Amino acid sequence: MTILEQGGATAPQAVDLIKDTTTQSFVQDVIEESKRQPVLIDFWAPWCGPCKQLTPILEKAVRGAKGKVKLVKMNIDDHPAIPGQMGIQSIPAVIAFVNGQPADGFMGAVPESQVAAFIDKLTAGMPGGGPSAAELIQEAEAIFAEGDPAGAASVYAEVLNADASNIPALAGLARCYMATGETEQAKQTLALVPEAKRSDAAVTAVQASIDLAEQASALGPITELEQKVAANPLDHQARFDLATALNAAGKRAEATGHLLEIVKRDRKWNEDGARKQLVQFFEAWGPTDDATVDGRKRLSTILFS
């Protein structure tokens, strides 16, 4: 069970403000879902020109509602039973379901302003004007800093429920998974980040954490590595491995100390490997982490004194 499942939150893979439905999934996608928030069902067909005009308008308006309403689309050519039962005779036709029942609707390719007004009317009285995505992300970061990754994950999931492509929220959720040792879930979450956004600082930080965790998983127990270093302080590889394992165990200061010791003894060892590993630590920890700030100072002292 993941931290999101424990907290009753929703993983980003499951978040879907806009989806297609079938005759078989209509009850779950529309009837049941409308008991949680209003659902618009858009009846359309590939040959329908006005449908092609309306669909992007509907999608934009639903995204703009930030989770207050969902859009479900049904191709009436592939699934004629439901529109037949509902008496839909021309398309596009949009029916709003609330609390499991049809509540309102309209026909034809209406303008964007009319769609927005329809949604406003449908959601009137619903909780609104809540915190923005940026405010929620700040809240999640504060919760995470207090040592509650599960609580932070729930807030990140709330952001993703409204915008499944929010990069800071995806990175934050992945970081929460890493904090609870769920490396595979972190990797799956980070895989949702588009290639063009992979260089985002928050994304690269989590990726560095994942890389370091996978490095550490291939190493032996910390006690064995400590014994190797004690037996031969010049065994830089053993000290390097010990630093990696200590970092995975959350012992950042000790991990930093061992890598700095290699830098002091043999800067060129393994093509400057100790310094490079330190830089990866700093990236994973974040620029404002106390261990990063202290480690950078100590590294600078060695390199430039």
> pLDDT confidence of 63, banded at 50, 70, 90?
confident
What is the pLDDT, as a whole number, of residue 124?
74
Residue 261 pLDDT exceeds 50: yes
Pick 262 or 139 by higher pLDDT: 262
Report the pLDDT value the prediction gives residue 214, as an integer from 0 to 100: 93
pLDDT value for 126: 63
Active site residues: 48, 51
Tell me the mean pLDDT in the region 228-235.
Answer: 96
Q: Rounded distance, CA 294 to CA 91, Å? A: 65
Segment 162-199, tens digit of pLDDT: 788 899 999 999 999 999 999 999 999 999 999 999 99
- At residue 51, what is the residue type? C
Query: DSSP of 151-217, one letter per residue?
Result: HHHHHHHHHHHH-TT-HHHHHHHHHHHHHTT-HHHHHHHHTTS-GGGTTSHHHHHHHHHHHHHHHHH
Average pLDDT over residues 141-159: 90
Contacts with 292 (C-beta within 8 Å, 6 or more apart), sequence order: 281, 282, 285, 286
- Whole-number Å distance between alpha carbons of 29 and 224: 54
pLDDT of 68 > 50? The answer is yes
The pLDDT-based confidence of 129 (bands split at 50, 70, 90) is very low
pLDDT at 125: 62
For residues 114-130, average pLDDT: 75
Least confident piece of the model among 55-59, 128-132, 146-150, 274-278: 128-132
pLDDT over threshold 50, residue 220:
yes
Q: What confidence score (pLDDT) does residue 127 get?
A: 55
Q: Which residue has the higher pLDDT, 14 or 22?
A: 22
pLDDT of residue 13: 41
Confidence of residue 131 (pLDDT cuts 50, 70, 90): low
- pTM of the predicted structure, to 2 decimals: 0.58
C-alpha closest to that of 48 among 90, 10, 7: 90
Q: What's the whole-number average pLDDT of the chain?
A: 89
pLDDT for 5: 62
- pLDDT tier at 64, thresholds 50, 70, 90: confident
- What Cα–Cα distance (Å) separates residue 246 from each residue in 119, 162, 215, 255, 257? 54, 38, 12, 5, 10
Domains in the chain, CATH or no CATH each:
3-122 (3.40.30.10), 133-197 (1.25.40.10), 219-304 (1.25.40.10)
Distances (CA, A) of 41 to 101, 114, 169, 181, 299: 12, 16, 28, 40, 60
